[in-house]
Amino acid sequence: MAANRRLPGTDRRSFSVVYTIGYRRKPLATFIGQLREIGVDAVIDVRLRNTSHLAGYTKRDDLAFLLGAGFGIAYEHHPELAPTLEILDGYRDDEDWAAYEAGFLPLLAERAAEGMGREILTRYRAPCLLCAEPTPEHCHRRLVAEHWARHIPGLVIVHL
């Protein structure tokens, strides 16, 4: 759905949209295609670690260049919307999603993540939160988007 199209049952003037996307197991052409089809104007990188040699086309500097020079999409890194190393490594050790959420959600409140969301939504028409996980179910980008939606009236979340 193009970003300038209305979502079913809504009036475009009465809501904002935040998109989310994961890149793992997603070819570059698919990743860029999804962003362009929707009309994303900014990728908001919410990863704590975004320079790993394993990140491929999503390494911070490469991705910022690719998005900006190739497609006119802004790129911002916001590690303050990422979990701490302790929370992240704990989840990688035990894969306890309930414990992950219990540690991460208070961190969003402590960091006033909703203020960052409001600020981002004033600058961009169609921002997209980026993380690695292929689906949003067990990814903190979903938790960030849901936190924003609880505090920003009329915010609609669309997972790509």
Across the chain, what does the average pLDDT equal? 89
CATH architecture of 12-159: 3-Layer(aba) Sandwich (3.40)
Structure token digits, residue 51: 């320079």
pTM metric for this prediction: 0.88
Per-residue pLDDT at 58: 86
The answer to whether residue 9 scores a pLDDT higher than 60 is no
Whole-angstrom Cα distance, residue 4 to residue 15?
A: 12
Phi, psi (deg, nearest 5) at residue 9 = 75, 15
For 55-61, what is the mean pLDDT? Answer: 82
Give me the mean pLDDT over the 34-62 stretch.
87
Q: Give the pLDDT score at 55.
A: 61
Res. 2 pLDDT band, cuts 50 70 90: very low
- Shortest CA distance to 129 belongs to which of 114, 118, 115, 140? 140
pLDDT of residue 6: 39
* For range 99-118, the mean pLDDT: 96
Which tokens is 139 given?
């990814």
Tokens of 19: 């998109």
Give Cα 97 to chain centroid, integer Å: 18
